[in-house]
Amino acid sequence: MSEPTDCIVLRGIAAEAIVGVYDFERHQPRPVPIDLTLWCDLRAAAASDDVAETIDYDGVTQTVHQVCATLQPALIETLAGTIATRLLGDARIRAVTVTVHKPGAVAGVEDIAVRLHRSQAEHP
């Protein structure tokens, strides 16, 4: 089954998380803006104009915030992977691209980000 060409894009989700390998990073949440692309079939929603036929943007955002508030990983790679796994729990989301930004993580670098792409075919 090929991935759909339709997608929903959420850019700049204002999340915060305790994430990092250094002790000073483990004391309080830091901003980790998150971008998502949700690959799904939007034909029914486009035809019906019915919100029940699409993905709940607010619910997706709440999932991201919940993962960020509870996980506390060392790596943003782990944060991105966990978000992807949680979102793929909705079978209507056939694939997801997750980008987690960690601005200011390295002196002299404006932003560091991890982007990963996962699909239902890879989802356990």
102 is catalytic: yes
Helical ranges in 4-100 per DSSP H: 43-48, 57-70, 76-87
The residue annotated as part of the active site, out of 102, 104, 117, 120, is: 102
CB 122 within 8 A of CB 95: no
**Closest to 17 (Cα-Cα) out of 67, 61, 62, 78:** 67
Q: Which residues are catalytic?
A: 102
